[in-house]
Structure 1
Amino acid sequence: MSKSKIKKPFKPGKASKKTTSVSPNSQDIATMTALFNEGRVTELEALFKTWTLRFPCYVPGWQALQSILTQQKRNAEALAPLQKIAELLPEDAEAHFHLGNLQMELGQPADAVASYRRALEIKPGFVEAHNNLGNILQDLGRLDEAVLCYRRALEIKPDIADTLNNLGHALQSLGRLDDAVACCRRALEIKPDFAEAYNNLGNALQDLGQLDDAMTCYRRALEFKQDYADAYSNLGNTLLKLGLSDDAMTSYQRALEFNPDFTDVYNNIGNILKDLGQLDDAMACYRRALAIKPDFAEAHSNQGSIFFGQGSLPESEVSFRKALEINPDLAETYSNLLFFLTHNENTDATTLAVEHRRFGEQFEAPLSAFWPQHSNSRDPERCLQVGFVSGDLYAHAVASFIEPALEHLADYPQLTLHGYYNNNVQDSVTLRLRKYFKHWHSVIGLSDDALAEQIRADGIDILIDLSGHTAKNRLLAFARKPAPVQVSWMGYPGTTGLSGMDYYLADRFLLPPGQFDDQFTEKIVRLPACAPYRPDMSAPPVNALPALGNGYITFGSFNRQSKLSPPVIGLWSQLLRALPDSRMVLGGLSEEGQYGALIDWFAQEGVARERLNLYPRCGIADYFALHQQVDICLDTFPYNGATTTLNALWMGVPTLTLVGGTVTARQGSTLLSQVGLDAFVAKDAADFVRKGLSWGGHPASLASVRGNLRERIKQSAIGQPEMVAAGVECALRTMWQRWCAGLPAESFDVGPDVFGKTR
């Protein structure tokens, strides 16, 4: 945002007789005049320096030296003359004010604050000093003090557009968005061509989710200030939130025309390129930003995301931790680090729990004192207002799991569903999901404060998070406790770390009673299944076991590339070496086709490239069809597959999984246990290889499993969305009844027998 520093001409007060007793004579003045008229700046500067030595108490000499240095933008050298002037004129408010201005420009905030305060001691009604003191306090993060300074200036002179604009800036930073909008609008009434006020108004409106109005403000700012790089950047941000990435890119490029070193813009362009899968180009943008600003935390974090997506886990961790070292308050980066840690085989369950709790301590604890006293009616049997918050309500794995449940939950008369969608992607899945919600809200542009306020205003009784620490989560809105009961479900295999998140939905296979309770800040509710599964209609029929025709076993993996690591490839390769005729199909890889590191990892384990069939991400029908080449899928660890495991099961392909001590390392065993395939669950690496060899040596048994897997899924709780939905409805009612009774959250189970009793 843009703040306005108020400058004014330096008109020093009268100097004492002591300071004027020795001064230049008429010849000195004549020499100065001649040098000035002839533009001989270097000699003029030398003359003034001589004067300060000959006449050390002569204020105009110091002023002249300071002026000529400032005109040459030699501000650091101009500091000493200004300090001397303030020393010679201790009761001159103007002298201390101008000293404060220069100290602020030189990055000396503590000294600037002292100078402004001294000016105000001398002249309490010094409007410009109140304004500029507010600016420096705002830069120091002392927002409440800054607001007081601006308000004091406006009490003295109410119609200062610059100060109103600055006050709007501070109020927006404090989350007081309506007040910020009012201040900026008032500034524009006074000064209709005030580009900076239009820019700040746009930012406040953007935080309120009023993206079209924000865009209008930025365009107005650019009408009055055509080279306004900040406005182009903010316009780009708004266009991006509206899903107009091409237009956003154009706006960002215009910003760079006027400010070639605009690091935020390089970072944002990198984000667009990353989302487009152009990872090398995205990384180049982040590196360009870091070359200009080495302590740019967000760029370090985004580099980490690319490293993570490429499976370069050590580099990813370094980048995330560097970003948090620079700026510990980056919640999104902290979430990225936590998500990374779930993929790190060297991170045990205790460490994961501690790290997640630290997230809550850092980001939620300061907000908990301001949690509202919820006034929701404590009627235990009334219709419940249930909100779902997610950025994944489009063609995404989470949507594929939530849709079968929503289809049934929407039919329960005692539930009213509200959707809070935190993404600008609108596809056929989004349109289909919307019909299950009586109320639908796009919240991509809302600040966390504004989102929490909307949820409270909507009267939500139970608020459900579908993201956890994955992309586009709104955990900081949950940290404000906008609903009486808050629940995390299906989006993230682990705790949020928030004390205000009351429950976590799982099942008895994923989180057996008593075994994982201490790893969650939430109380655990065990449903018949964690989530329902409905196969895609484009899945082809199950074919005969490929090994029967090939004469060799084909292993497969369709997990995202970031789950693949040298330890994973090392264990898989033990099987491939033990079965030298076997092959491996790897699907769902990066579309850029950069698989060099992956191929090298296999080569280092003695598995030749010729034994690998590598496929980039493709359409859903082709993706399912690839399973017809595979006999057995091999799971990743410590972050097991979930969607990929279920899709493989539907195609008749069991997954050999290695169970571990963290929640992410139990996803594979959970799904296999649900369909009665515990024989594919290995307890350690040796057992993994042993089971793989055993199944690889018994193709007839494997063919038998393949032939009835679809029926196993249909008969399991996973394959019965109506059962899962009934369990969720029962769980929500139980949670609500406990809150109505004033009871704390508590873990409980909802068995499969609940189906049929809740309608």
Structure 2
Amino acid sequence: MSGGKHKSADQLLHDAVKLHLAGDLDGAGRLYKGLLKQSPLHPDGLHLSGLVAMQKGQLAEAERLIRGAIAASPKAAAFHGNLGTVLISTGRPQDAMACYRRAVELDESYVDGWRNMASLAAQMDDHEGAALAYSNVVRLTGGADGGALGYLGLELAVLCDWDNVPMVREAISALPSWRTGKSLPASPFSLLIHDFSPAEQRRYADEAASFIENRTAPMAHKPSARRPRLRLGYLSEDFHDHATAYLLAEALESHDRSRFEIFAYSYGPEDKGAVRSRLRDACDHWVELGPLSEADGARRIQADGIDILVDLKGHTGRARTGILAARPAPLQVAWLGFPGTFGGTCMDYIVADSFVIPPGGEGDYAEQVVRLPLCYQPNDSRRPRAVPREPKAKWGLPEDAFVVAVFNNTFKINAETFAVWISVLQAQSDAVLWFVEFHPAATASLRAMASAVGIDPARLIFAPRLPQAEHLARLSAADLFLDTWPCGGHTTASDALWAGVPLVAWAGRTFASRVAGSLLRALGFDELITDSQGAYHALAQYLAKERVALADLRQRLWAATQSSPLFDGKAFVGPLERAFDTMWATWEKGEKPQGFDV
């Protein structure tokens, strides 16, 4: 009965689905094909054949087959939903959204349709639509979908709609383990906005990582002697006009090519921008993983013989964590993109420093902690440099105002920090708050809250998003930068300091809350690091009032940024390479990864 001959359509479908669920795409594809020979318009045969094609990266074939399934059975919600997912992969988000909308119109209880709609709406900057769709997922799953809960909280935070964020936090805290079969884990990225302890963050990261690892068979590796050039693979979606790329560029360019062979594995947009071009030039090999499945991407990395795979995404948006779960390299290192532990067992090391992960905090990380001597964050001395003081009027600010910049994304703003910012406006009649405008609903919400406590909403000034060079130039028009908590500024903090603007950091318990403090410490400005709301409030008020002291601070900061190795990507790379050398030497000896300070 080879090739499925003499089997009924139902039996062929049953056998094909078994193979499909077991991950045998070729075997499933052959049986689906046999089914369609018998019954060319079989809706499930067409639809599932389309899913196999999609999983193998054959997107045109996937679209053709799933459209055929819809023609045969136009009211099947899942068919429309999966067509939407294919269309996203072919770069047609608007058409994909129409498919998701049609799917939930056909079946209001179709959870995957709402979930996909929510994710796509967020990517398209429709955060109100995303919050609504995630709330439907939460309702339909009885609050058992931790991912939807986490992202609902994140979308509400983007909109500065803070009333329900504490309830989301409580619901996440009450989630049972996914291993009980009663829930799905929350995304660790969505939890950074809540004041969870590092131990709690580790627990949620372990849940999320284990959920991925449980579905992926890891590749095996045996200790081997170092070749003349150690092969470093950098894995990311962000090799384009993105904050990670701005920080990374000079460090990547500065690797010692006589000792390291550099591979970039990109699965993000294939843009033609200057940042991507610069990154490509910095690598020996550039590999586009975008068209490949996660399993095929992992196989490609393994085939390239990568010694150390450095992941630059962690659990941030659109990360392809299944590649890491497959363990395509003998050593896997978490660095830069995600300010926290990856969790699980697939990452060997995390690159940090003694401020973002203080001594004694190692138990809150699934990885072995490697601390660089100055700061874990690289920087780029070639970035555009602002003049010490940009005129305020040029950037739409009152020339005689005291400008407090709060340029972090709105999802990082919360009631605790906003209360301090408002108190500065109440105490200093010439002060204004300067934001980047991320979403009109957030702008309206922040202005309404200011108005409710008697502050003229015109004192909240919202700047448009600009290309990086212009953004860096305008920053120096600010008098003071106030960081957010518990998810602080990372690249934004670097930007402010590079522009010579004094920054007040509120360092909390977590990696995500301590990055600005690490940067300040590296520059020698520990006096700008606070560790509580009260201390943050007091220092912000002092600097807003004592303008002579602030001017002196600014002068010292400008001088420090010009001489500090913090902003020198070339100086950064030496310790990083020594870290990689030590990791490999431990592996070569057949020993388990162990943390160390460089």
TM-score band w.r.t. shorter chain: 0.7 to 0.9
Counterparts of 1:253-268 in structure 2, within 5 Å, are 263-268=111-116
Structure 2 counterparts to residues 739-750 of structure 1, below 5 A? 739-750=587-598
> What is residue 155 of structure 2 aligned with on the other side?
306
Equivalence for 1:489: 335
3-state DSSP of counterpart to 2:432: strand
In structure 2, the residue matched to 1:211 is 59
Aligned length: 589
The answer to whether the 8 A contact 1:356-1:495 is kept is yes
Match of 1:670 among 495, 509, 518: 518
Q: Which residue of 2 aligns with 1:239?
A: 87
CA distance in 1, matches of 2:208, 2:116: 25
Distance in 2 separating the partners of 1:252 and 1:362: 26
Larger Rg: 1
SS at match of 2:356: coil
1:575 aligns with 2:420: no
Match of 1:334 among 171, 185, 189: 185
Give the Cα separation in 1 of the matches to 2:258 and 2:408: 39
- Matched-pair contact (CA < 8 Å) for 2:144–2:182: no
Match of 2:352 in 1: 506
Per the alignment, in what secondary structure is the counterpart of residue 334 of structure 1? coil
The CA distance in 2 between the partners of 1:395 and 1:643, in whole Å, is 13
Q: Secondary structure at the match of 1:487?
A: strand
Q: Report the 3-state secondary structure (helix = DSSP H, G, I; strand = E; otherwise coil) of the residue aligned with 2:265.
A: strand
Paired with 2:468 and 2:564, the residues of 1 have a C-alpha distance of 24
Once the two structures are superposed, residues 152-195 of structure 1 have per-residue CA deviations (whole angstroms, 9 ceiling, x without a partner) of x9899654344333333232222222332233233334444444
Which residue in the other structure is 2:302 paired with? 456
- For the pair 1:526 / 2:375, whether they are aligned, the reply is no
Q: Does 1:558 align with 2:404?
A: no
Distance 1:331 1:703, change over 3 A: farther
Contact 1:465 1:489 in 2 (8 A): yes
Aligned counterparts of 1:332 and 1:242: Cα–Cα separation in 2: 31
Map 1:119-198; keep pairs closer than 5 Å.
158-198=6-46
Write the letter of the residue equivalent to 2:158.
G
| Contact 1:207-1:445 within 8 A present in 2 as well | no
> How far apart, in 1, do the equivalents of 2:82 and 2:271 lie?
22
Q: Which amino acid letter does the alignment assign opposite residue 407 of structure 2?
A: F
Normalised by the length of structure 2, the TM-score is 0.86
Of 374, 380, 383, the residue aligned with 2:221 is 374
Q: Which structure has the highest helix share of the two?
A: 1
Contact 1:570 1:602 in 2 (8 A): no
**1:320–1:333: 8 Å Cα contact kept in structure 2?**
no
- Does the alignment pair 1:315 with 2:167? no
CA distance in 1, matches of 2:542, 2:135: 49
Cα offset for 1:706?
A: 3.1
Structure 1: distance between partners of 2:197 and 2:136 = 36
| SS of match in other structure, 1:181 | helix
Deviations 1:424-457 (A, max 9, x none): 4635134543344444444446554444334333
- Please name the residue that 1:135 is paired with: none
1:224: Cα distance to partner? 5.5
Distance 2:482 2:194 in 1: 18
Alpha-carbon contact 2:386-2:473 (below 8 Å) kept: yes
Asked whether the 8 Å contact 2:435–2:460 carries over to 1, the reply is no
How far off is 1:583 after superposition? 1.3
Given that 1:659 and 1:681 are in contact with CA atoms closer than 8 Å, whether structure 2 keeps it comes out as yes
| Letter in structure 2 aligned against 1:561 | T
Confirm or deny: 8 A CA contact 2:472 2:495 kept in the other structure.
Answer: yes
The separation in 1 between residues aligned to 2:148 and 2:595, in whole angstroms, is: 41
**TM-fit CA distance, 1:653:** 0.6
1:343 aligns with 2:224: no
Q: 1:293 & 1:357 partners in 2: Cα distance? A: 22
Mean CA deviation greater in 414-423 or 255-264: 255-264
User: Taking structure 1 as reference, are residues 302 and 542 closer, same or farther at Cα in structure 2, changes over 3 Å only?
Assistant: same
The answer to whether the Cα contact below 8 Å between 1:277 and 1:592 also exists between their aligned partners in 2 is: no
Aligned partners of 2:504, 2:182: CA distance in 1, in Å? Answer: 36
Match of 1:416 among 261, 265, 268: 261
Partner of residue 388, structure 2: 542
Would the alpha carbon gap of residues 256 and 749 (structure 1) be closer, same or farther in structure 2, given more than 3 Å must change? Answer: closer
Q: 1:673 to 1:295 in 2, by over 3 A?
A: closer
Cα deviation for residue 384 of structure 1 reads 2.6
How far the C-alpha of 1:560 sits from its partner, in A, is 0.9
Task: Give the superposition deviation at 1:519.
Answer: 1.6
Bigger Cα displacement from structure 2, 638-647 vs 218-227 = 218-227
Instruction: Give the Cα separation in 1 of the matches to 2:192 and 2:101.
Output: 37
Structure 1 contact 308–340 (Cα < 8 Å) conserved: no
Q: Distance in 2 between matches of 1:671 and 1:308?
A: 26
Residues 150 and 168 of structure 2 are in contact (CA less than 8 Å); yes or no, is this contact kept in structure 1?
yes
Name the amino acid aligned to 1:510.
V
What CA distance in whole angstroms lies between the structure 2 residues aligned with 1:426 and 1:551? 41
Structure with the larger RCO, 1 or 2 (CA within 8 Å, 6+ apart) = 2
Counterpart residue type for residue 273 of structure 1:
A
Q: Describe the shift of the 1:198–1:717 C-alpha distance in structure 2 as closer, same or farther (beyond 3 A).
A: farther
Q: CA offsets per residue over residues 61-86 of structure 1, 9 Å max, x none?
A: xxxxxxxxxxxxxxxxxxxxxxxxxx
Q: CA deviation at 1:461?
A: 1.8
Check conservation: 1:669, 1:681, Cα contact below 8 A.
yes
Q: Percent identity?
A: 25
Following superposition, the deviation at residue 631 of structure 1 comes to 0.7
Contact 2:160 2:442 in 1 (8 A): no
Distance 1:599 1:562, change over 3 A: same
Residues 521-548 of structure 1 show CA distances to partners (whole Å, capped at 9, x for unaligned) of 211222243122227856542217979x
Alpha-carbon distance, 1:670 to partner: 0.5
1:490, distance to aligned residue in structure 2 (A): 0.5
Measured in 2, the distance between the counterparts of 1:594 and 1:179 equals: 50
Once the 2 structures are TM-superposed, how far is the Cα of residue 217 of structure 1 from its aligned partner?
3.1
Contact persistence 2:42–2:72 (CA under 8 A): yes
Q: Distance in 2 between matches of 1:182 and 1:289?
A: 35
Q: Is the 8 A contact 1:387 1:419 kept in 2?
A: yes
Following superposition, the deviation at residue 228 of structure 1 comes to 5.9
Q: Amino acid of the residue matched to residue 344 of structure 1?
A: H
**Equivalent-residue separation in structure 2 for 1:270 and 1:374 (angstroms):** 39
State the AA in 2 paired with 1:399.
Answer: A
Cα RMSD of the aligned pairs, angstroms, is: 3.7
Question: Cα distance, 1:672 vs. partner?
Answer: 0.8
Deviation at 1:649, TM superposition (A): 1.4
Amino acid at match of 2:408: N
CA change 1:687–1:266 in 2 (3 A) is closer
Cα displacement string for residues 10-35 of structure 1 (whole angstroms, at most 9, x for unaligned residues): xxxxxxxxxxxxxxxxxxxxxxxxxx
Letter of the structure 2 residue corresponding to residue 241 of structure 1: S
Aligned amino acid, residue 556 of structure 1: A
